[in-house]
Amino acid sequence: MPTLTIKGAHVIKHKRALGGVLTLAVAVGVAVAAPTGNDVPWRNAATTVTAAESSAADHARLRELMHRLTTVDGGPGALLEVADRRGSRVLTSGVADVKSQAPVRRDSRFRIGSMTKTFVATVMLQLVGEHRVVLDAPVERYLPGVVRGHGNDGRKITVRQLLQHTSGLPDILDHLRPQEVLKDPLAHHDTRDLVNIALAHPPTFEPGTGWRYSSTGYLLAGMIIEKVTGHTYGEEIHRRIITPLGLRETYVPGDASAIPGPHPRGYVRPGEDAPLRDITAINPTVAGAAGEVISSGSDVNRFLDALVRGRLLRPAQLREMTKTRPTGNPDGRAYGLGLESRPLPCGGLYWGHTGDFLGYETAGGATVDGRQATVMVNLGPAASDAQSDGMKAAVQTALCGGRRSAAQ
């Protein structure tokens, strides 16, 4: 029986998680979705793209992957937005609403889960560049007395270790009961309470001696941002990232349970034979700085492009963010500070993050030469490993853009 886990107050499959797990023994069924596959032209109307220029083979492969995500792999609907210097293109498949069978809109917003961490890390590194935060300073300097007990000690853990998942702090998701989240999805969750739930348990290793994904670190990072600036981390994201980049479809919702603007319904399957449950309305404070942001394919792509090409961070801070360490995953992924690198099958690598929240699974990536891709499926946790693998394949195929590895 497959297991599901909640990560950073958002749900993620154990096998796909970057680190520790909180298992929810729920067998995953396959959702029935309308086998549609729709794509729209490049958004930049001034650019004419022929089939040869856009690589007919890759286009067909992307269509195939999107169709599979909403049939064999079990997602109700899926969206992929690909962008480069020519403009952006959106492919959709399946349905946004299993009752009405309405198709997925190309301008959809959705919950991006752990991709929130990249926004939070960017703000923290901007503060480092302003000499308001020191990466290798202890957490205790900014949050005195907060990280204590059961072997956890903020005097021995640095800000860098929070952002890179090398703190050894117990993951809130190992100790938050997912059944309680599903029982009352509109309940408010206080960040300090979530941190205290995690810190009631011993660390998984001594700080700096290992790597294990822990959303607790990002809850604390959000608290540090607030302590240093006098504003919530969400207000700082808006001022430092959303407004300068013109991200009109990106929100840090706080207690607001609705998704503004057009969006697919978000679904979870609570049991092997259970019908899909609509979990679109949820209080995102259950994720906080570890995963509450709402965005869109176009906005995520714009953000990742600006980040990896140096528009948001000074060179020294971007170097720190992209200084990675292996995660132990056989696919070669490595983790920096809120940003992950993965090898591309056509050579080189891309930078991005994955995200999982009740009702949605997302993945996004960008290359330094100006290509970006973001994919979303409105079923979270994923119906199967194949769903997560298919999403990764869609991002990588889009980023390779017609290039082929020697092995292909």
- Separation of alpha carbons 266 and 382, rounded Å: 12
| Angle formed by the axes of helices 56-69 and 385-400, nearest 10° | 160
> Burial of 175 by CB count in 10 Å (0-12 exposed, 13-18 middle, 19+ buried)?
middle
Identify whether 343 is preceded by a cis peptide bond (ω within 30 of 0): no
Q: Measuring CA to CA, which residue among 278, 289, 280, 26 is closest to residue 177?
A: 26
- Separation of alpha carbons 105 and 168, rounded Å: 41
* Residue entry with tokens 């956890």: 152
Q: Are 257 and 186 within 8 A, CB to CB?
A: yes
3-state helix, strand, coil in the chain (%, to 5): 30, 20, 50
Active site amino acids: 114
* Residue entry with tokens 């990002």: 218
**Single-letter amino acid, residue 91:** L
Q: Are 55 and 291 within 8 A, CB to CB?
A: no
* Residue entry with tokens 């809109």: 105
**What is the largest distance, in Å, between two alpha-carbon atoms of the chain?**
62
Beta-bridge partner residues of 357: 360
- Separation of alpha carbons 312 and 289, rounded Å: 19
In the three-class reduction of DSSP (H, G, I as helix; E, B as strand; rest coil), residue 361 is classed as strand
- Separation of alpha carbons 389 and 358, rounded Å: 18
Q: Are 28 and 12 within 8 A, CB to CB?
A: no
